[in-house]
Amino acid sequence: MAKQLMKGCEAIAEAAIQAGCRFFFGYPITPQNDIPEYMSARMPKVGGCFLQAESEVAAINMVYGAAGAGARVMTSSSSPGISLKQEGISYIAGAELPCVIVNMMRGGPGLGSIQASQGDYFQSTKGGGHGDYHLVVYAPASVQEAIDLMQTAFDVADKYRMPVLILADGIIGQMMEPVEIKQGNASEPVKKDWATVGWSEKDFTRPRAVVNSLYIEVEELEELTGRLQARYAKIAEEETRVELYNTEDAEFMLCAYGTVARICKTAIAQLKKQGIKAGLVRPITLWPFPYKAVHDAIAAPSVKKALCVEMSAGQMVEDVRLAINGEKEIELLGHSGSRVPTAEEIAQRIIQMRGA
Amino acid sequence: MKRYYVLIGNFGSGKTEISINLAMKAAKTESAVLVDLDIVNPYFRSAERRKELDKAGISLLHPVFAMSSVDIPALPPDIYSVFVDSHTTVIFDVGGDPAGATALGQYKANFSKIPKEALQVLFVINPRRPLSSTPELVLDMLHRIKFRSRLEITGLINNSNLAAESSVEELLDGYKMLKAVSLETNIPVAFTTGLKQPLEGFLKIALETGLDSRYIGTPMEIEIFMHRDWDRFTEFGI
C-alpha cells in the first residue's frame, strides 16, 4: 500500500485496528483527541466498538471489563486524564489482564498546558497507581515507530497478561509524517483460556474464569506479587529496547527519549561540524529501563561527560544516574512548562561542558 | 469585483497552506483579508504566520483565543465585516471535517448575497491522508462537509502530497481520484497544487500522456509557509 501522510494520533489509532484491536473506550482531552476522533469513524467500519465514556474513570473500567472478556482493547488520554485512570490501571495489573493505554503527554502538573511535555515519566515507570506493579512502557520517537510499536504493544500485553503503555509526547501525536501501515499484518490471537466468556454447552468442564484483584489472604496476595515480579524479571531480560546512535568513540553521550532524542540527533550533527564527537543512547522501553545499555554507553572510556535531555524538570535522569551508579557525572538539560529544547541549545550545552 | 474563496475539506488536507498561498498571490495586486475560521485545531493555524501575513499586507481575522493554547471555539463578531468592507479578496480558511465546516453555517445569509461568479467554495483533497484513500470515502466526506457548511461546493483541489516526500506519483494518483469525484458530483476541478518539482513533473507527464485538462484545472505552485517546528528540530528521522 502507498505511503500515507498521517498524524501520530491517527497513525496510532489505525495501527491499533490493524493489530486487531476492536474495542476503544475513551474520553476527550487535548492533545490526544485525534485518536478517539479517528476511532469513532473507523471502529464501526471494522465491526468494532468505539465508545465515548462519561469519564476517564469509566473508560478505564470499560477497558478492564473488555480485557477480562479476552478482547483486544485500548484507551488513550493525555496526562491529566491518565492520572484519572490510574486506579483502573492498577486493578488491571492486579487482575493480570492485557490492554494497551496511550498517553500523549501534555504539560503539568495540574491541568498544565496543551503543549507537549515529558513530565509523566515517573508516573509511567514508577507506578502511577498503587501497589507493586509495572507497565511495559514504550516511547516512540517518530510516527512510523509509534505505528510499529502498537503491534508490539498488543502482542506483549497478551503474552505477559499485563497493561502496556505507549508514552509519547504531544508532538508525536500532532506531527504529520509519511508513513506505511501494513495491512492485515496482525499476529495470531493468543488463546485466552482465562477469559470470562462463560461456559458453553460443549464444555462444562473448563475451570471457572474469574477476574479479580482482591486477595484477602496474605499468602494469596504474596503469591500474586511474586508471580508478577517473576514476570517483570523475564520482561526486563527479553523485552528491553534501546537505540544507540553514533556511540562509537563519542566524547559526549546524550541520553533522551521520544521527540527529544530526534532533536539530540540534530545537535549531534551540528557538533560534528565543529569536530565534537557526541553520541546518543535512546531508551525505547522506559520500563524495563535499558540500564545495561545506558551504563555501557556512558561508561565507555571515550566518554568524558554525559547529558540527559528531557522535556521535564528531570525524571529519566534518575534512572540514568542509577544506571551509571556514580561512575560518571550526569548533567541534566530539562525544560518543564512545555518548552521544547532546541538542537542549538543542546549543542551549546555540550560545548560548555567541553570547556568546563 | 470582490472575490471570495472558501477552503474546506478533510482535516489535514492542506487548507491552511493553500489559503496562505492564495492570499499571498492575491496580495500582490489586491487588498486581501484572510479569515482563520478553524475552530477544531488549536495547534496549526494561519494565525501562526501573522508576521509574514502582516509583511505581505494581508489582513488577518481569527478566533478569539487563537494562539493562546486555550481551546475555546469562539469566533469574533468582526468576521462579519469582511462581507461589507473594502477588501477585494476574501479567503476563508475553514477547520477540517464536518465539525470544522460547521463554523461556516452562521454566515449563510451573508454568502447568499454574494454573486455566484464571485464566490468559490473549494474542497481540498489529499488522497494520501487517512480516510481519503478512495473516491467513496472522499464523496462521503464531501457530502457531510457540504451539509454542515450550508454552501454549494464550486470546485475541487488536487492537493495530493506526502509533505517532504512528495513526488509526481502523488499528483498522478490525485488526478485519478479527482476525475472520479468530479464525474460523480459534476463539480469541476479548480486547481492542482504542489511543490515546484512534483507539480512541473506532473504537468509534463500530463501533456505527454494526454491527461484531460478539465481534471487538472489551474496549476498552482505551493510555497510552504506553515513550516512546523519539527521540520527543523526533528530533521533526523528514526
CB atoms within 10 A of CB A270: 18
Does B71 contact A at CB distance below 8 Å?
Answer: yes
Question: Would residue A212 count as lying in a domain?
Answer: no
Is residue A187 located within the same domain as residue A272?
no
Quick check: B233 and A174 CB within 8 A? no
Closest by Cβ to B238, choosing from A7, A34, A262 = A262
Shortest distance between the Cα of A35 and any Cα of chain B, in A, equals 12
Question: Would residue A183 count as lying in a domain?
Answer: yes
For chain A, where are the E strands, in sequence order?
4-7, 23-26, 49-52, 73-77, 99-105, 136-138, 163-169, 176-179, 242-245, 252-255, 278-283, 285-287, 305-310, 330-334
- pLDDT for residue A187: 79
| In the predicted structure, residue A345 carries a pLDDT above the cut 70 | yes
pTM over 0.90? The answer is yes
Does A111 contact B at CB distance below 8 Å?
Answer: no
Is residue A25 located within the same domain as residue A170?
yes
Does B65 contact A at CB distance below 8 Å?
Answer: no
> Residue for cell digits 509524517?
A177
Is residue A126 located within the same domain as residue A93?
yes
Does A169 contact B at CB distance below 8 Å?
Answer: no
CB atoms within 10 A of CB B96: 22
Question: Would residue A158 count as lying in a domain?
Answer: yes
Q: What is the pLDDT of residues A114-131, one digit of tens each?
A: 889 999 999 999 979 999
Q: Which helix (H) or strand (E) holds A238?
A: helix A218-238
Quick check: A141 and B238 CB within 8 A? yes
Is residue A234 located within the same domain as residue A254?
no
As given in the structure block, the three cell numbers for residue B50 are 501573522
Domain that holds residue A296: 243-355
Q: How far apart are CA A218 and CA A222, in angstroms?
A: 6
The residue-averaged pLDDT of A154-169 equals: 97
Q: Which helix (H) or strand (E) holds B192?
A: strand B189-194
Is residue A155 located within the same domain as residue A263?
no
Measured N-to-C along each axis, helices B168-185 and B135-149 cross at an angle, to the nearest 10 degrees, of 60
> Which ipTM score applies to this complex?
0.90
Is residue A54 located within the same domain as residue A171?
yes
Residue of A nearest to B141 (CA): A41
Last residue of a domain, one of A204, A238, A272: A238
Grade residue A1 by pLDDT with cuts at 50, 70 and 90: low
SS3 at position A323: helix
Q: Which helix (H) or strand (E) holds B190?
A: strand B189-194
Q: What is the pLDDT of residues A274-333, one digit of tens each?
A: 999 999 999 999 999 999 999 999 999 999 999 999 999 999 999 999 999 999 999 999
SS3 at position B144: helix
Grade residue B230 by pLDDT with cuts at 50, 70 and 90: low
Q: Which domains does chain B have, with CATH numbers?
A: 3-235 (3.40.50.300)
- pLDDT for residue A45: 95
- List A196's β-bridge partners, or say none: none
The residue-averaged pLDDT of A246-269 equals: 96
Is residue A73 located within the same domain as residue A159?
yes
| Contacting residues of B for A114, CB less than 8 Å apart | 42, 69, 71
Tell which residue, A107, A23, A10, has the closest CA to residue A65.
A23
Quick check: A178 and B164 CB within 8 A? yes
Question: Would residue A206 count as lying in a domain?
Answer: no
What share of chain B in percent tops pLDDT 90? Answer: 79
- pLDDT for residue B54: 95
Is residue A298 located within the same domain as residue A174?
no
Is residue A109 located within the same domain as residue A18?
yes
Q: What is the 8-class DSSP label of residue B146? A: H
Query: How many domains are there within chain A?
Result: 2
Q: How far apart are CA A78 and CA A113, in angstroms?
A: 11
CATH number, residue A345: 3.40.50.920
| Contacting residues of B for A266, CB less than 8 Å apart | 232-236
CATH number, residue A159: 3.40.50.970
Q: What is the pLDDT of residues A187-207, one digit of tens each?
A: 787 889 899 988 877 777 788
As given in the structure block, the three cell numbers for residue B201 are 513533473
Question: Would residue A209 count as lying in a domain?
Answer: no
Quick check: B235 and A38 CB within 8 A? no
Residue of B nearest to A114 (CA): B69
Q: What is the pLDDT of residues B162-197, one digit of tens each?
A: 998 899 999 999 999 999 999 999 999 999 999 999
Grade residue A245 by pLDDT with cuts at 50, 70 and 90: very high
- C-beta of residue A79 within 8 angstroms of C-beta of residue A51: no
Is residue A51 located within the same domain as residue A110?
yes
Question: Would residue A60 count as lying in a domain?
Answer: yes
- C-beta of residue B7 within 8 angstroms of C-beta of residue B18: yes
- pLDDT for residue B238: 55
Shortest distance between the Cα of A269 and any Cα of chain B, in A, equals 9
- pLDDT for residue A256: 98
- pLDDT for residue B71: 67
Quick check: A269 and B129 CB within 8 A? no
Quick check: B233 and A343 CB within 8 A? yes
Question: Would residue A296 count as lying in a domain?
Answer: yes
Does B208 contact A at CB distance below 8 Å?
Answer: no
Is residue A155 located within the same domain as residue A49?
yes
Q: How far apart are CA B228 and CA B194, in angstroms?
A: 18
Last residue of a domain, one of A238, A265, A300: A238
| In the predicted structure, residue A338 carries a pLDDT above the cut 90 | no
- pLDDT for residue A220: 96
| Contacting residues of B for A262, CB less than 8 Å apart | 230, 233-238
| Of A216-220, B7-11, B73-77, B113-117, the least confident | B73-77
DSSP assignment of B38-93: --S-SSS-GGGGHHHHHHTT-EEE--TTTTTT-------GGGGGGGTSS-SEEEEE
Quick check: A3 and B128 CB within 8 A? yes
For the four alpha carbons of B128, B129, B132 and B134, in that order, the dihedral sign comes to positive
Question: Would residue A132 count as lying in a domain?
Answer: yes
| Contacting residues of A for B236, CB less than 8 Å apart | 262, 265-266, 269
Is residue A34 located within the same domain as residue A101?
yes
- pLDDT for residue B229: 64
| In the predicted structure, residue A184 carries a pLDDT above the cut 80 | no
Closest by Cβ to B129, choosing from A5, A42, A171 = A5
Closest by Cβ to A176, choosing from B12, B42, B173 = B12
Last residue of a domain, one of A238, A268, A299: A238
Task: State the best of B69, B126, B233, B235 to mutate against chain A, taking most chain A CBs within 10 Å.
Answer: B233
